[in-house]
A and B are shown apart, each in its own frame.
Chain A
């Protein structure tokens, strides 16, 4: 704490002369005119430790303590608990140093009680509580408002992910289960379902879900291998070493995928293996592309990721980014690309796998770009 002494001289009702002396001697005294309050505000000062006024009143230590306690109390009621704690401790220190032992016990007891109570509250608030299960209407709101993609499938995935991020795991599992019907999202959805079970500490739930998937045959062998690997790793993180069975149950192969869900034709969907090979990749929120030539050379354009599946990200390029639009074409390799994820920033490269102009909807005039990350 810096020790400061404020000396005030009252000239008339609205004018006072204030001198703020730094008792440590490091700073020269500051001089200001105005009412006490104005001056304090102007200085943005922590309250001086001593306040001597020309009215002849030297703010007594007791008054100072009272004033600091008042300040602490306000911070406490505002929920600024750490700030309140600092002030209570300041007050306690002042009492300790300045008040004779025989007179201070009740004050010390009072402040100690406050500090103890505050400690408990801080502990309680810092303890990460389990997010409450919200009413269905709020879950619907989250599902709706936190899905940004225009295309229904991606929006479904975003909504379900948002529900899980907001701790609504049961509902998220329901939504992800719905997405299992979708060829291109099936594996992502399955992994997210397992994540949700683990988030609710339901290892058994995850295991029985896995067994059920084995029996149901909705995943082909390559997918099941990936899910098994994923689940075994989740278990490992929990300290559980366990080898899980593979899709060796006869019905699995006997039940053709298409019979389980009514799906659109598989013809135009690339081989599953190819789509999913790297779906362990980090969640990318945005991608920074640096312009490499021309007058804007060196400028980074940051583009929002609208959808991600493994190492493939979809981006929106606003129509105004003419330099990029002119340059972009399918097959072009982009170097020095920044990938921004919530936990890390990566530098890498990527190849443009699709680039089309958006011709309707709110993003009309912008371009949709698919980038395959090759970090």
Chain B
């Protein structure tokens, strides 16, 4: 639910990083905070528990400057991925204009990715949104682990993850590593692109 201020020609939109616990949502925001200093407009707010699990949400405000005469401000949020924080996830998801789904490439987390995507679908419905319509991008995170010397950690292939998560959605996807930063920027940029195209359709700001 973007806020469009016609008078000051400002658009404020919300992108939510969703995904199972420990998949790397917070690490994505931390990398963005470190790397895109020019666009970041304030501190990264992280509200986490002992053990660095997100308790409520992370929040990172960014400014993209003017696009077609409109000042674009973006707010990035992460949800807490742990199953028990379901009601907080719903609260944070409310009013989202775009979603980045961060999936864990560890084979051992395969079911958790699928469950979390189902949870996203359900929660979007409850917010009156539709997973097939909302701008959505997938990130297959922790790919750096597949180059560990001995292959001691079973990592899913991209094809498997595509098959599990993106067979029906058919949305853009990015293998990446929030730890090294690989793919983080591309994921964000694609999400911004899709979100702004959608908002342009809804708000038609470029024609005003």
Q: Find chain B residues with CB under 8 A from A74 CB.
A: 145, 152-153
Q: Find chain B residues with CB under 8 A from A342 CB.
A: 86-87, 90, 126
A68 to B181, CA, bound (A): 28
Q: Find chain B residues with CB under 8 A from A131 CB.
A: 55-56
| Interface residue A255 (Cβ < 8 Å from any Cβ of B) | no
| Interface residue B146 (Cβ < 8 Å from any Cβ of A) | yes
How near does chain B come to A132, taking the closest CB pair, in angstroms? 8
A80 to B84, CA, bound (A): 15
**Among B29-37, B44-52, B64-72, B188-196, the stretch in contact with A:** B44-52
Partner of B151, one of A40, A79, A125, A146: A40
The answer to whether B88 touches A44, judged by C-beta atoms less than 8 angstroms apart, is no
| Interface residue A304 (Cβ < 8 Å from any Cβ of B) | yes
The answer to whether A79 touches B53, judged by C-beta atoms less than 8 angstroms apart, is yes
Within 8 A of A (CB), among B126-159: 126-130, 145-146, 150-157
The answer to whether B128 touches A80, judged by C-beta atoms less than 8 angstroms apart, is no
The DSSP consensus for interface residues of chain B is mixed
Q: Please give me the residue from chain A that is nearest to B24 by CB atom.
A: A78
Within 8 A of B (CB), among A116-148: 121, 124-125, 128-129, 131-132, 134, 138, 141, 145-146, 148
The answer to whether A37 touches B146, judged by C-beta atoms less than 8 angstroms apart, is yes
Interface size class of B (residues with CB under 8 A): 35 or more
| Interface residue B114 (Cβ < 8 Å from any Cβ of A) | no
Provide the A285-296 mask, 1 if CB < 8 A to any CB of B, else 0.
110000000000
Interface size class of A (residues with CB under 8 A): 35 or more
A148 to B130, CA, bound (A): 19
| Interface residue B110 (Cβ < 8 Å from any Cβ of A) | yes
How near does chain A come to B135, taking the closest CB pair, in angstroms? 16
The answer to whether B56 touches A41, judged by C-beta atoms less than 8 angstroms apart, is no
The answer to whether B154 touches A41, judged by C-beta atoms less than 8 angstroms apart, is yes
Most chain A CB neighbours (cut-off 10 Å) among B5, B21, B95: B95
Q: Find chain B residues with CB under 8 A from A47 CB.
A: 152, 154
Partner of B128, one of A71, A146, A286: A286
| Interface residue B186 (Cβ < 8 Å from any Cβ of A) | no
The answer to whether A340 touches B126, judged by C-beta atoms less than 8 angstroms apart, is yes
Q: Find chain A residues with CB under 8 A from B87 CB.
A: 165, 342
| Interface residue A322 (Cβ < 8 Å from any Cβ of B) | no
A124 to B179, CA, bound (A): 26
| Interface residue A302 (Cβ < 8 Å from any Cβ of B) | yes
A138 to B47, CA, bound (A): 9
Q: Find chain A residues with CB under 8 A from B9 CB.
A: none
How near does chain A come to B46, taking the closest CB pair, in angstroms? 10
A368 to B45, CA, bound (A): 34
Residues of B within 8 A of A (CB): 1-5, 21-22, 45, 47, 49-53, 55-56, 59, 75, 84, 86-88, 90-91, 94-95, 106-110, 125-130, 145-146, 150-157, 160, 203
In addition to A138-B47, A302-B130, 6 A-B residue pairs with Cβ atoms within 8 Å of each other are: A41-B154, A67-B152, A74-B152, A74-B153, A79-B51, A129-B49
Q: List 16 A-B contacts (CB under 8 A).
A: A37-B150, A41-B146, A41-B155, A44-B160, A47-B154, A74-B153, A75-B106, A83-B106, A83-B109, A124-B50, A125-B50, A132-B47, A134-B47, A162-B91, A285-B127, A340-B126
